Amino acid sequence: MFFAQIQLSVMMELNLENSNNVALNANFKETENVMSDAKRKQFKKAPKSIVGERIFKSLLGLLSVLILLLVVGVLFTLLLHSLPSIKAIGFKFLWTKTWDPPHSIYGTLPFLVGTLITSFTALLISIPFSIGVAITLGEYFPNGPVSNFIKNAIDLIAAVPSVIFGFWGFLILVPYVRELELKIGITPPDGQGLFTASLVLAVMIIPYAASLGTTMIKMTPSALKEAAYGLGATRWEVLKSVILPYSKSGIFAGILLSLGRAIGETMAVTLVVGSAIKMPSNIFSTGNTMSSMIANQFSEASSDPLQLSSVVEIGFILFLVTFLINYIGKRIIKRFSNK
């Protein structure tokens, strides 16, 4: 998915000089020889290999175009199926606060707000942890048993199915949040709500920023670090002035990945968010996100065309929101690497 693409584009944009990556240097030298050998072979061999090259190239091009068509197709289908709702309700859909099928009133504002609040809160909660893990694994424990243990634990978090996080949240986290709400004096002390959903999401999205951040921190040229140490910098100062500025666009890309995951997460959120269709009054109130609304409403809505098309329109808006956030994120990454 996004992971490899962002990693690759980040590396290219950063214009790496990987002097500490010996293997890469060796490959570079050998490639020159191999290329000239291949070129010689090309001229000596029959045109069969040129045809093979061409087929391979066109196959790659075809697959890329196919994927692009798929994405455009999804967007187009969403738009097509939300047309009845767009025609009937129009732009009002974006700021209507109620979802009232018996009276045919539909609006997406509570869910939009719910999605944005839960995703960004989850991001804020998880950033210290994921950057911390990235620094630990990249700088302090790059190899060895401790590193393996932490790495495996993080990978395990990413591998657990999201519905299990939902169950864990519902059965274990909700009572604790309820006690917290009772202490603070939130009524009603439900336990479920946007805050609980943010906590569950925060745990789930740690691995993405952590692993990408680890890779970027490890790629900081050791020449820069050694120079800083040589000038008498402490470990913390090297981290602050050399490593983090160098890898900051990569870490940001990892954070963007985490945010993308948080926005789209459905089952884990549905089980703990409380499914209430109203504008959230505070972080602890129950609410709904766009994806959990779709999950709840889709099967039943299929009997009422306007309701169904409104649910699809929620999906369409979710698609656009994800698109927009990714675009803004990419622009910010570009800014970081051009400085």
Partner 1 sequence: MVIASLVLASCGGGNGSASGADDKTITGGGSSFDKPLFDKQFAEYNTTTGVKINYQSIGSGAGIAQLTSKTIDFGASDAPMNGKQDSAVSAPVLHIPITAGAVVLSYNLPEVKDTLKLTPEIIAGMFLGTITKWNDAQISAVNPTVKLPATDVLIAHRADGSGTTNIFTTYLSKVSPEWDAKVSKGSTVNWPVGTGGKGNEGVAGVIKQTPGTIGYVELAYAVQNQMQYAQVKNKAGNFITPSSASVTAAANIDIPADSKISLTNSDAPEGYPISGFSWVLIYKEQSYNNRTQAQAEQLVKLVSWMIHDGQKFSEALQYAPLSEKAVAVGDAILKSATFNGQPVLK
Q: Which residues bind partner 1 (CB under 8 A)?
A: 98-103, 105, 170-171, 174-175, 178, 187-192, 270-271, 274-277, 286, 296-297, 299-305, 307
Prior bond to 188 cis, omega within 30?
yes
- Minimum CB distance to partner 1, residue 314 (Å): 14
Q: What tokens appear for 31 in the block?
A: 């490639």
Side-chain-side CA neighbours of 104 within 13 Å: the count stands at 8
Q: Are 226 and 180 in contact (CB under 8 A)?
A: no
| Residue 272 buriedness (CB in 10 A; 0-12 / 13-18 / 19+) | buried
Q: Please say whether the beta carbons of 316 and 79 come within 8 A.
A: yes
Which lies closer to partner 1 via its Cβ, residue 132 or residue 188? Answer: 188
CA gap 30, 36 in Å, rounded: 10
User: How far apart, in whole angstroms, are the C-alpha atoms of residue 31 and residue 54?
Assistant: 21
- In the complex, the smallest distance separating the C-beta of residue 312 from partner 1, rounded to whole angstroms, is 14
Residue closer to partner 1 by CB (options 13, 190) is 190
User: What pairs with residue 105 in β-bridges?
Assistant: 100
For residue 50, the tally of other CB atoms under 10 A from its CB is 11
Task: Identify which of residues 174 and 243 has a Cβ nearer to partner 1 in the complex.
Answer: 174
Smaller CB separation from partner 1, 89 or 243: 89
**Given the complex with partner 1, which of 259 and 277 has the nearer CB atom?**
277
Shortest distance, CB of residue 102 to partner 1, whole angstroms? 4
Cβ proximity to partner 1: between 171 and 324 the closer is 171
Output the smallest distance, CB 6 to partner 1, in A: 31
Please identify, using beta-carbon distances, which residue of 117 and 133 lies nearer to partner 1: 117
Shortest distance, position 262 Cβ to partner 1, whole Å: 21
Least Cβ distance, residue 121 to partner 1 (angstroms)? 19
What is the closest distance, in whole angstroms, from the C-beta atom of residue 178 to partner 1 in the complex? 7
Query: For residue 231, how far is the Cα from the chain centroid?
Result: 38
Nearest to 10 by CA among 205, 210, 212: 212
> 3-state SS of the chain: helix, strand, coil percent to 5?
80, 0, 20
Residue 224 or 271 having the CB closest to partner 1: 271
Three-state SS string over 164-213 comes to HHHHHHHHHHHHHHHHHHHHHCCCCCCCCCHHHHHHHHHHHHHHHHHHHH
Question: Minimum distance between the CB of residue 49 and partner 1, rounded to whole angstroms?
Answer: 22
